[in-house]
Every structure is written in structure tokens, then in C-alpha cells.
Structure 1
Amino acid sequence: MYLPIGITTMTDQDKAIESRISEKAVDSFNDAPNARYKQIMRSLVRHLHAFVSEVELTEQEWFEGIRFLTETGHKCDGLVRQEFILLSDTLGVSMLVDAINHRHSASATDTTVFGPFYIEGMPEREFGENMAFTPGEAALVRGRVVDTQGKPLADAVLDVWQTAENGMYSGQDTEQPFGNLRGRYRTDANGYFAIRTIVPVCYPIPTDGPVGRMLDAANRHPWRPAHLHFMIDAPGYRKLVTHLFNHDDPYLDSDAVFGVKHSLQVIYEDRVSHDDLSADLGMQVPFKRACYEFVMEAE
């Protein structure tokens, strides 16, 4: 049997001592007045102790883990960079929490991870307004927001964000103009929306911190497939947080944060002539167009 350096074969007495330590730690939360807090903390400590016992964690490995978490906290800046969310994303925890908390009817649009680069308070944009202030392949993203019965939802708010062509979000890249590739759009009376932007590109998540070192140690790549973020709000409906992924992206099957769902893939089709909307918006041809219908579930 393999044993870590410095670890000897465990006796029955050792097992009893370690078991008592775990039991005492779990039971220390028995008097917590909040039942949900008690449930979570007892389970967390139980599973944490089981992990330590299973891998026979050495003191050096324990210290490295503490240092890793400390450095993860230091890498968070409180505004744009959230290394703990990035860690949760790359461990698949974010998608698991999303799946548990967003069980919905088969007809509702699938959710996916929120991501670490959302910024509140971005500009309100008009129907079809261009949110791209940096170069890229011009695109028109249009569609509708409806409920599960197909009823259009007027005045729904679509908070949208994406990276620039250099693979970085505004805020993350301080040279981008304020609000670049970000904005809050609203649906019209018939539930339609229109967003002028650029075609999203695939990009690597930040690798200059602890999460990057973890991926490197695991021989994992840091790439996310090209996508457009959406957070959609409508009174009386469950908030929808999701992406639209480019259907032909090479990283769809190996997303670093496990966020891809087939139902969220869209085609950016070539347009060499105007459609009814692009002409009214004064778009130059050629451009790319993607269409999608978001289905929201009542609260």
C-alpha cells in the first residue's frame, strides 16, 4: 500500500483517535440556532475530514492548501477579478450549484455559470444600439423573450456582456472604453430585442494566479468557447443567467468551466444584404446575424 512520506501504517488506536477528532468537530455545530447553517456546517466538516483521512494529507500538503487559498483571496480585487468564483468554475462547483438551483421545466431556457467578470451599473441601451467600441466582426443578435406558454414578455431587461477581440472584458482590460461590450437592453411591446455588437471570440481564463497554476499542474487548458453573457429579468419570472455559444467553436467540448449546453449554441450566419431590422439600424453589410428565443419560467 502506498503511504505518503512520513506516514506510517495506522493502528486501531489511531483510527479511534482520528474518528473522535472528526466526531467532536462535527458535533461542535449541534447547538447552532439556525437549522440550515447547522446542516451545512456539519456536512461540510464531515466531508472535509473524510477527504483528509482518505488521502492521508501530510502537514506539508495541508500548508500548501492553506497557502493556495490565501493567494486566491489576495488575487480578488472586489470589482472585476474574483479568483474564488474562477476556482469554483474550474472545479465544476459553479455548474453543479447552478444545476441544483435551476431545475426547471423542459421548455424553459437552460442556465449556465454567471462568471467572474460581471459589472453592475452598465449603460442602458436603446433597441438595436451598438455596444461595441472596439474592433471586431460586426454582428446583430436579435430574438424574443417569452414565457413557457409562448407569451411575449415586454420590457424584460437583458443585461449583456462579452469580451473584446483580445479575449478580455472591459474592466479587466483597463484600455477598453467604459461600458465596452456591456449594456442593459429591454424588449419591446412584443417581446423582441436587438443588440448590435461584434462576434464573440474564444479566450483563456486568467492564468496569472492560483487557478492558473492549478490548471497547469493538472495539464488542463484554460480556454472558454466564444459566448455572449445574458442576465435577464422580468417581473414575476425567475431571473435567467445564461450564455449564447458560437456553434462552431473548437472548445465547446472542453470548456474550462464546464458551462456549455447544446441548447445554448447559436449560428452567426453571414448576411450580405439587409434584413428588415439591420437596414433600419443603419448597419453596414456584410455582417453576422444570430437569432435566439429566451423562454422564462414564472416564479
Structure 2
Amino acid sequence: MKGYFSESRSVEAVNERMSEETDPRLEEIMGKLVTHIHAFVKQVNLTEAEWMAGIEFLTRTGRICSDERQEFILLSDTLGLSMLVDAISNRRPDGATENTVFGPFHVKGAPEYEMGKNISLDGKGESCLFEGTIKDLQGAPIEGAELDVWSDNADGYYDVQQPDVQPKWNNRGRFITGPDGCYSFRGIKPVSYPIPSDGPVGQMLTALGRHPYRPAHMHLMVTREGFQTIVSHSFVEGDPYLADDTVFGVKQSLVASFERTPDAEGDTVWRSRFDIVMARLGEDTNVDLRSAAADEK
């Protein structure tokens, strides 16, 4: 016979209601969710008024969601949850380029260009040459790797945010490496920008004394058959928001140098080098942080 609910055995009372036919993975996830939520409520002595404020916050978060805006993902991002799930899902051997959050502004089917092409179509911003080598963990260049890149414009907006202002495919492009594994293209030096802060997530950040800004970065996705896909950024060295990216996306290994240098025409432009290291399928780390987390309890 299942027991009655009480404060002391609240977790047991809820979790023992699950059927023996419940999917094992669902049972594990929901059981741990109940365990940690109940522990949180007991630890902070949550009041009914505070509980209702939380319910109202989540209700407002749901109401602002649409096909163009996902406030719950924004909430996950700003609580560091998105980065944690990404880190767990993309553990790699030492030396491989690290992942970071995908972001909401990727568009499939960007134009494929020859190396050296300028992807900035609106003529705004400070010109920048991006270059590097895509290689494996042993340092050998990877031929046939597809590098998909995208960034904001000089005003801090992606083309999909301003379809009537920016040209389609502005600051986007795909490049395929040759035998030397090298890539190069021209764009603009990215600028930092705020995430949408006019909704519940923005109100939460204000209440916590946090800003909504992301440091300047170039998005990149690298794919090649036989290798693990990389979804990452190269961040602008020296950006004031590197240490407190509002979505916690910065990793030290992803901060790239940006230097002023003369180009072939004698004009001074920015230049950024960022090498990318891909791990082969099967070259996974064997780290399991669940046991470490259990030890911390």
C-alpha cells in the first residue's frame, strides 16, 4: 500500500505513484526531478506567495512564446541550463574544439562560396578577414570539411531579425576545405548585442542585477563525414562582456585574436585567426560526471 503525503516523505509519496510499466528513462528523469524540486522547496522554505509568483512568471513566459520567439529557451540560456546540457551532450577529447550554444539565428542552406569571399552584403561594419585551418587531433588537415558561418551586422542584428532592412544571407556563408584544410573569408568584426529583454526573462535579469548582453562572436558549424559535428563561436578578444556573457556561452579556448593589419590593397582591416580541431567519431571522452555529482551530495 502506498503511503500518504507528508512533508517528511513528500518525495516518496509522489514517486511511488509511478507505474511499473513506466519507461525506465522517464522514471529516472521524473523521479530525480521530483526529488530535487522538493529538496529546493524545503531548503528555501518556499511560501505560497512565492510559489504563486513563480507560477505567474512561467505563465507569462509561455504566453510570449511564438514561432519567432522561444522565451523558455531564453530562460534556459540565462540560467546556464542550455550550456550545461550542451556540455554534457558534446564531451570531447582534450584538444578538440569545444562546443557552445547553437543560438536561434542559424538558417539552413546559406550560399556556398569560394575561399576568400566577402559574406558582408550590406556594406556596414569594420571589414575583417577570418582564417584558420581545420584539422584532426593529430594535426593533419581535413579536406572536404564544410564550415557554415553566420554573424550579426554592425548594428547587432542578424538578417532574419531585419528581413526588410538587411539583404538575405547577409553575413552568412558556407565554405568547403581543400587538401590543406585551410579556410578564409571576409566578413565584419562582430559586435556585442543584447538578447530580447522586453519579456519575463528580461525582467528576471533586471531583478537579479544582470545585463542582457552577449559578447561579440562569429558563429560556426563544422561538419565532415566521420567526424563529430562542431557547433561553436569564435569570440572577439577584448570584448567587455566575455567574462559575463548573459547565456554563459564563452569558453577560454573559443576567444580568438583580432588584430589590425594592412590588406593587399594597403587598407587597414581586422584579421582573426581561429584554428578548428575535429574529433573523429568514436574519439569520445569517457568522462561520466553523474558519479562526480553524486559524490557532491
- Conserved 8 A contact 2:134-2:276: yes
- Conserved 8 A contact 1:27-1:42: no
Counterpart-to-counterpart distance in 2, 1:28 and 1:209 = 37
Indicate the residue corresponding to 2:66 in structure 1: 77
Residues 85-104 of structure 1 mapped to structure 2, 5 A cutoff: 85-104=73-92
- The correspondence for 1:163, drawn from 143, 152, 157, is 152
- CA pair 284-133 structure 1, distance change in 2 beyond 3 A: farther
Indicate the residue corresponding to 1:146 in structure 2: 135
Counterpart-to-counterpart distance in 1, 2:183 and 2:62 = 38
- Structure 2 unaligned segments of length 5 or more: list them: 282-297
1:78, CA displacement in angstroms?
A: 2.7
Q: Are residue 227 (structure 1) and residue 217 (structure 2) matched?
A: yes
- Conserved 8 A contact 2:259-2:272: yes
Indicate the residue corresponding to 2:194 in structure 1: 204
- Conserved 8 A contact 1:203-1:225: yes
AA aligned opposite 2:215: P
Indicate the residue corresponding to 1:110 in structure 2: 98
Indicate the residue corresponding to 1:290 in structure 2: 272
- Conserved 8 A contact 1:122-1:179: yes
Indicate the residue corresponding to 2:57 in structure 1: 68
Q: Are residue 248 (structure 1) and residue 238 (structure 2) matched?
A: yes
Indicate the residue corresponding to 1:46 in structure 2: 35
Indicate the residue corresponding to 1:5 in structure 2: none
SS of 1:195's equivalent in the other structure is strand
Instruction: Summarize deviations over 1:106-133 as a string: whole Å, max 9, x none.
Output: 1111222222332333333332222212
- Conserved 8 A contact 1:89-1:115: no
Residues 7-18 of structure 1 mapped to structure 2, 5 A cutoff: 17-18=6-7
State the TM-score, normalized to the length of structure 2.
0.86
Indicate the residue corresponding to 2:26 in structure 1: 37
Indicate the residue corresponding to 2:184 in structure 1: 194
Counterpart-to-counterpart distance in 2, 1:117 and 1:248 = 24
Counterpart-to-counterpart distance in 2, 1:145 and 1:194 = 11
- CA pair 125-69 structure 1, distance change in 2 beyond 3 A: farther
- Conserved 8 A contact 2:10-2:38: no
SS of 1:18's equivalent in the other structure is coil
Cα RMSD (Å): 2.1
- Conserved 8 A contact 1:82-1:117: no
AA aligned opposite 2:156: G
- CA pair 25-183 structure 1, distance change in 2 beyond 3 A: farther
State the TM-score, normalized to the length of structure 1.
0.85
Counterpart-to-counterpart distance in 2, 1:128 and 1:82 = 35
- CA pair 239-51 structure 1, distance change in 2 beyond 3 A: same
- Conserved 8 A contact 2:235-2:256: yes
1:194, CA displacement in angstroms?
A: 1.5
- Shifted more, 129-138 versus 68-77: the winner is 68-77
1:20, CA displacement in angstroms?
A: 4.1
